[in-house]
Structure 1
Amino acid sequence: MNRSPLKLALLAGLGLTFAATIYAPPATARTHVSVGIGINVAPPPPRLERRPPPRRGYVWAPGYWRWDGRGHRHVWVGGYWVRARPGLRYHRAYWVQDGPRWRFREGYWGR
């Protein structure tokens, strides 16, 4: 009798059990979540964008350079409107130099 399917099912069950024990769902009440990357290539200067006329209930998030790891280059992401959050201020996305590396900080809501 071949016991390979039984062993495979047992290993799959153990793998799912392990994955379920280490999974932590994301927090939902955060106002600032930061995912940083570090690269050795400085971003180009920001592009000049024409800011559209104000929209009631929205805040303009200026454009920024995003790193495209597949293409190994910076790609411009144009500005966009985000729904305003009363009592909070939107902080734009930006790059900061950290020694020889550049780190990207995503836009976020803060006080």
Structure 2
Amino acid sequence: MTDRTLRPARALLLAALLGSGLTFSAASMAQVSVNIAIGVPPPAPVYEVVPAPRAGYVWAPGYWDWDDHYHKHAWKKGRWERERPGYIYESPRWIQSRDGWVLVPGRWDQGGYKDKGHKDKGYHCPPGHAKKGEC
């Protein structure tokens, strides 16, 4: 084989390798969550005045975060999050696991709560009912 006949094969091989690399890099950009358990439960929530509604935004209430530098909880003030149509914002929350306390980060949940047989696609579980298993 001459160098001329190998050029198309090399180009095809290079394109395949680059294409697979792009596939892997896109997959590597997916969200990754690392949970670290700590032995100290979070303090009681801090009372914050919820501002008046703001068109196109959702209020994300404050929460206790873990500050690795000072090895203690630090309060993160509430803030406005740009609304995402078709999604419901879930605030960060602490859960107790067998290894200690774990912060579940805030997130946008697509489609809201599972609707336990409701036929209306626009149905959304009322606040507080999902935690009780009613939706």
Match of 1:26 among 19, 26, 29: 29
1:13-60 deviation digits (Å, cap 9, x = unpaired) = xxxxxxx9xx84313xx6xx6442210010001111100000000000
Tell me the SS of whatever aligns to 1:41.
Answer: coil
Q: TM-score, normalised by structure 2?
A: 0.58
Q: Is the 8 A contact 1:64 1:79 kept in 2?
A: yes
For 2:40, the aligned partner's letter is V
What does residue range 1-111 of structure 1 map to in structure 2 within 5 Å?
A: 24=25, 25-27=28-30, 34-99=33-98, 101-110=100-109, 111=111
Q: TM-score, normalised by structure 1?
A: 0.70
Counterpart Cα distance in 1 of 2:82 and 2:33: 19
Compare the two structures and name the one with the higher strand fraction: 1
Tell me the SS of whatever aligns to 2:59.
Answer: strand
> Unaligned regions of 5+ residues in structure 2, if any?
1-20, 112-135
For 1:26, the aligned partner's letter is M
Structure number with bigger Rg = 2
Q: Is the 8 A contact 1:34 1:105 kept in 2?
A: no
What percentage of aligned pairs have identical amino acids?
47
The ranges of structure 1 where at least 4 consecutive aligned residues each deviate by more than 3 angstroms after the TM superposition are none
Tell me the SS of whatever aligns to 2:85.
Answer: coil
Counterpart Cα distance in 1 of 2:34 and 2:45: 20
Q: Is the 8 A contact 1:35 1:105 kept in 2?
A: no
Counterpart Cα distance in 2 of 1:85 and 1:39: 32
Tell me the SS of whatever aligns to 2:89.
Answer: strand
Give the aligned CA root-mean-square deviation in angstroms.
1.9
Counterpart Cα distance in 1 of 2:80 and 2:34: 21
> Unaligned regions of 5+ residues in structure 1, if any?
1-19
